[in-house]
Copies of this chain bind each other. A is one copy, B any other.
Amino acid sequence: MKKTMHIMSEAPLNAETPLDNLQSWITSNEVFFKRNQEMIMASPVAFESWSLSIQGRVKKVIELSFSDILSMTKVEVANTLECSGNGRSLLRDKAPGNPWTIGGVGNAIWGGVRLSDVLVRAGITPEVRHVGFEGLDNPLTTGTVKFIRSIPLEKAMDSTILAYEMNGEPLPLEHGFPLRALALGWTGANCVKWLSKISLLEDPVSGYFMDNVYRIFQKGEEPGSGKVVTTIPLKSIITSPANGAILTGGLVVIRGAAYGGEADITNVEVSVDDGLTWHAVEFIGPHERYAWRRWEYSWKTAETGMHTLLSRAIDDRGQIQPMSASWNVLGYGNNGSREHAVIVTIQ
């Protein structure tokens, strides 16, 4: 891993993509954010000893080898992945957890198979409503529950893949080699890495990582209440100039990204006067359903001094990114517009 990543913890490994690497449509594998609850295997599992078991409420328990997976119909999808807690440290009221700023997000081209194609092989019985994922990571301490998660059957059948490639390379160990679940447009917590077992279930998985965390709840509410974190919220970020930058006046190019999970980004607006007036941006580069859109706005600076830049994304459902995210105890889904202060010196 490049030294340039912002490492929040080593065990488990949690590291944020630095601003320099948030400037392009593709986020390269080496600097793609890393978020773990448990310990990553010391070395990759051997292809020969790895297999994926599909069990639970299936018509027939099956076991797929890696070459079985490779022989299936392939998909390649541009998908922006964000950590559920990205932006947590930018909340006005603090919340416990990793202090992500804006770099708990990245965009990659993922190659793999449709989860639906795998499930159909095992046969889905009528009572199935949820799909559970278990990986080969190691619980941090004896007795710690494993990181097991489930998603609703509908999402599993409609838009979830099992990925074995990332940006044209075999999925790196740190990103779940040899196979990870990828619920398209949903946060990382729904995308179990080092996948080894899929269970078809009547009810959601229960346990710490489903019931106690990755839920949106308020103070005084029980853990286990609230909605499970699923889709990535509508959001835009300014990636250039940096917050706090000192700029020579004239024409300043403001750039960033906008994404909205399962929603399509239709507009991004920029304000250079702390939200008083808003301007449409130009989009840059590829436009793919689950991927962020890069954008740019050329700002003709007129006055020296401090200016507050803001951006807001608008999606195809007419939703507008909020100025402030709604707060929750564990600080998930911070999609508020980030105030970006820059200083313009000489004109």
Contact = CB atoms under 8 A, between A and B. Distances in A.
Nearest to A71: B253
Q: How many copies does the complex hold?
A: 2
A109 B288 CA distance: 13
Given A25-B109, A26-B26, A111-B24, A77 B285 contact: yes
A282 B252 CA distance: 44
Interface string A77-103: 110000000000000000000000000
A27 interface: yes
Contact of A26 (B23, B109, B251, B282): B109
B109 A76 contact: no
A141 interface: no
A296 to B, nearest CB: 6
Contacts of A111: 23-25, 285
Interface string A294-322: 10101000000000000000000000000
A67 B293 CA distance: 24
Contacts of A253: 71-74
A256 to B, nearest CB: 11
A130 interface: no
A284 interface: yes
A167 B296 contact: no
B298 A21 contact: no
Contacts of A262: none
B167 A26 contact: yes
A255 interface: yes
A77 B286 CA distance: 7
Given A73-B298, A294-B76, A285 B24 contact: no
Contacts of A16: none
A237 to B, nearest CB: 16
Nearest to A109: B26
Contacts of A286: 76, 78, 109, 286, 288
Nearest to A78: B286
A169 interface: yes
A28 interface: yes
Contacts of A72: 253
Given A24-B169, A74-B294, A286-B286, 5 more contacts: A25-B111, A28-B168, A28-B169, A72-B253, A76-B286
Interface of A: 21, 23-28, 71-78, 109, 111, 165, 167-169, 251-253, 255, 282, 284-286, 288, 294, 296, 298
18 contacts: A23-B111, A23-B165, A24-B76, A24-B169, A25-B168, A26-B109, A26-B167, A26-B168, A27-B168, A28-B167, A71-B252, A71-B253, A73-B282, A73-B298, A74-B296, A75-B284, A75-B285, A109-B286
